[in-house]
Amino acid sequence: MRTLAYWALGLGFLVSIAAYGGWLRVLGPSLMGTAVVIGSVALLGGGAVLGGYYDRPNAPLAPVKAFTKSDFINGLFDPSIFPVPALGQTGNLGRDTFRGPHFRSVDITLARGFSFGEGRSIQFRAEGYNVLNNVNLYLPNVDLSLALKADGTYSTKSIFGKSTRAFDARILQLGLKLVF
């Protein structure tokens, strides 16, 4: 087996390309969680005009624990832990304060070309995406206005702080390409 290329980047991105007996194998990527920005379209206060779009709330007064996958599904935190800033003020919650769910996926491609006759070839490909079938969640809903009730308090039964979608499960496909 001859390794053609192999490299790893600091954020968990890994790609390996190798050849063996005419077969080409490509393996990658595996990624980590991305940043989450908490904001609101309708905070009562905040720095945008008329409480406008994506005001930033104040940071929670108590520390927030690390999140598990079940936290992303059931809700990261109670929306009322984010104090509303004074009218006309921007909240002090930092940008990218929280990390989203991990994204782990192993994609594999096996390919081989066969020549027959002059200028004719056929290529066989077997591809697998998320071959380990990890559940990879989308970022959680981070708009505090999703939890805002008409009386200005927050509902704990909203979808705020919850990941309500997942990326595709395992996908396997075969391909055959005829070149003439």
SS3 49: helix
Give the closest residue to 106 by CA, choosing from 128, 138, 136: 128
* pLDDT of res. 111: 85
**Type of residue found at 14:** L
Q: How far apart are CA 34 and CA 36, in angstroms?
A: 7
Q: Where are the alpha helices (DSSP H) in the chain?
A: 69-74
Which residue, chain included where needed, has tokens 């809700």? 75
171 beta partners: 129
Cis peptide before 63 (omega within 30 of 0): no
Give the closest residue to 163 by CA, choosing from 34, 54, 70: 70
* pLDDT of res. 49: 40
SS3 47: coil
Whether the per-residue pLDDT at 7 is higher than 60: the answer is no
**Cβ pair 170, 129 in contact under 8 A:** yes
Residue 31 lies in domain = 2-179
pLDDT band per the 50, 70, 90 thresholds, residue 42 = low
Q: How far apart are CA 40 and CA 76, in angstroms?
A: 16
> What is the arithmetic mean of pLDDT over 83-94?
81
pLDDT band per the 50, 70, 90 thresholds, residue 81 = confident
Number of domains into which the chain is organized:
1
> What is the arithmetic mean of pLDDT over 68-87?
86
